[in-house]
Amino acid sequence: MQKLKCLLCGMNLNENNYEVNKYALISSNMKNDIIYCPFCGASSIYFSETEEVYTVNPKELSENVLTILDHAVKLEVFNGDFYSEASKLAKNFEVKNMFRDLSKIEYVHAKIHKRLGGFKDFPTLTKINYGSYNSDEKLLKLASQREEHAVAYYSKYMKAVNNEVLSKIFKALSEVEKTHIKLTLSSI
Ligand SMILES: [Zn+2]
């Protein structure tokens, strides 16, 4: 297999990791046909054997753009935390696994923004008690709303970041979150 890299999260993709987070991918990867990055969920149009990982110099970004990236980190950590809790609360085995894998993917998105913005630490957000979401259906509906919000966020700021690389990343991530909407709604 050739050396394939995801330009969004920077992970090398190969026969040892193509099945990672498989419950959070809308179509299954195969050993010789990796269609989604198992780590960040990006589609194969963002894979390359030669290109460098998408990057920006945080020192060249305006305060406004750094704030957009800071909020993007928080949004993804918030959703990652939610999925982590939801995975504990879910009753159905498949839903549980899907939430667990979605959580890992959202944290990778947070890591991407953290790298882009040159931020030192991950934020620690206030813990939310999701105990009142006492059925898988309620958790899945909340999940799809969270994903809708993420898509709206990326769409809103795609142009405002005024940077070709960042726009490309926001677009790619909004596409990933759209697959999460489909995934969560189709599990209800
Ligand atoms: Zn990736």
**CA distances in angstroms from 71 to 31, 36, 115, 177, 187, listed in the order given:** 36, 25, 13, 16, 29
Instruction: Give the per-residue pLDDT at 99.
Output: 98
Average pLDDT across the chain, whole number: 97
Burial of 132 (0-12, 13-18, 19+ CB in 10 A): exposed
Q: What is the pLDDT of residues 173-186, one digit of tens each?
A: 999 999 999 999 99
CB neighbours of residue 16 within 10 Å: 9
Instruction: Give the per-residue pLDDT at 123.
Output: 95
Q: What is the pLDDT of residues 81-133, one digit of tens each?
A: 999 999 999 999 999 999 999 999 999 999 999 999 999 999 999 999 999 99
Please give the span between the terminal C-alpha atoms of the chain, in angstroms, as a whole number. Answer: 37
Q: What is the pLDDT of residues 146-171, one digit of tens each?
A: 999 999 999 999 999 999 999 999 99
Question: Could you tell me the distance, in angstroms and rounded to a whole number, from the CA of residue 126 to the centre of ligand 1?
Answer: 28
Instruction: Give the per-residue pLDDT at 3.
Output: 86
Q: DSSP secondary-structure letter at 54?
A: P
Contact 75, 68 (CB under 8 A): no
The rounded distance, in Å, linking the Cα atoms of 101 and 88 is: 12
Instruction: Give the per-residue pLDDT at 2.
Output: 65
Contact 122, 73 (CB under 8 A): yes
Question: Could you tell me the distance, in angstroms and rounded to a whole number, from the CA of residue 125 to the centre of ligand 1?
Answer: 24
Tally of residues, the chain: 188
Instruction: Give the per-residue pLDDT at 1.
Output: 54
Question: Could you tell me the distance, in angstroms and rounded to a whole number, from the CA of residue 55 to the centre of ligand 1?
Answer: 13
Instruction: Give the per-residue pLDDT at 64.
Output: 97
Instruction: Give the per-residue pLDDT at 185.
Output: 97
Q: Which residues surround ligand 1, an ion (CB under 5 A)?
A: 6, 8-9, 37, 39-40, 42
Minimal CA–CA distance to 141: which of 90, 107, 100?
90
The model's pTM is 0.97
